[in-house]
Amino acid sequence: MRTNWLGRFSGVHNRGINPKGFHVSQLKFYVILLPLAALMLLPIIFIFSHAFKPPDELFAYPPRFFVVNPTFKNFTDLFSKMSNSGVPVSRYLFNSILITVVTVAASIVVSSTAAYALSKKRFGLKKALFAINTIALMFVPIAVTIPRFLIINNLGLLDTFLVHILPGLAMPVGLFLIKQFIDGIPDEVIEAAQIDGASDIEIYWRIILPMIRPALATIAILTFQAAWNNADISSTYINTESLKTFAFYLGTLTATSTGANAVAGQGIAAAASLIMFLPNLVIFIFLQSQVMSTMSHSGLK
């Protein structure tokens, strides 16, 4: 009797509740998840397909989802318009790359250090400060446009390179998410390091950062998207053309093209949208495993 039970248990164990390879028991998950995955991929497929549509397909009615006769004319028109720019396109691209890299790095440092202090240190107004950060999550950017402009103006940051970077450092969602991660680190680990003589900087660098890498990757993606795709700062706070970003340049390029020639403008806009989207897709592909860990951790919390 015992042998039969052990045999049945061994068979179930070998099959595994969650086997690494394919098993017939997983078919029910594929039936549900594959259609969902295809639905999620539709916007990405459309961006690629739309960028290669000729004018007759761009304005076809009813609209076509997939391109029938792909063409590179949209990209050649876009690059032709770029070559006629007064400021070199490389300058806009350099500005965007530098702003994005600096903003991502600085935002990670600011969010992680602030989250470490709010999670593991004891000081006055700790709960009040975190409550203010939580309240800030409710405000959409357009709701704070006027206060932000007044603050930037009073700080003397108008028409400077720093205006692209400093407003992006305060990310309430980044501080909130990283603090939730650090809350999951046992206090005993921090106390043991302090007993061994480790300073706050050593604890932060050697213990906190390695244990919150999934959260850092998620914040890096969110900050990258916000900085790379941001054209509002260039249009609102910048007057000097050489200080503006690649996103702003493509936006104005497609807008002027649309005004002069609606057909060519739509094709240029489609090609520009794909060019702006590709870096976001690439960085997510590289960091997606860390993002999945963040979602899993958030679910367990």
Domain with 138, as residue range(s), is 77-300
- Supply the CATH number for residue 120's domain: 1.10.3720.10
Q: Tell me, yes or no, whether 131 lies in a domain.
A: yes
Q: Tell me, yes or no, whether 32 lies in a domain.
A: no
CB 218 within 8 A of CB 210: no
Q: Tell me, yes or no, whether 59 lies in a domain.
A: no
Tens digit of pLDDT for each residue in 233-272?
999 999 998 899 999 988 887 766 544 456 667 888 888 8
Return the exposure string of 267-295: e unless at least 16 CB atoms fall within 10 Å of the residue's CB, then b.
Answer: bbbbbbebebbebeeebeeebeebbeebe
The pLDDT value given to residue 77: 86
> Tokens 């050649």, residue?
76
The pLDDT value given to residue 263: 60
Q: Tell me, yes or no, whether 8 lies in a domain.
A: no
Q: What is the spatial distance between Cα 297 and Cα 231, in angstroms, rounded to a whole number?
A: 33
Q: Tell me, yes or no, whether 69 lies in a domain.
A: no
Q: Spell out, as residue ranges, where the chain has pLDDT lower than 50.
A: 1-16, 258-260, 298-301
Counting the structural domains of the chain, the total is 1
**Model pTM score:** 0.81
Q: Tell me, yes or no, whether 19 lies in a domain.
A: no
The pLDDT value given to residue 18: 57
Q: Tell me, yes or no, whether 24 lies in a domain.
A: no
Q: Tell me, yes or no, whether 57 lies in a domain.
A: no
Q: H or E element: which one contains 30?
A: helix 27-51
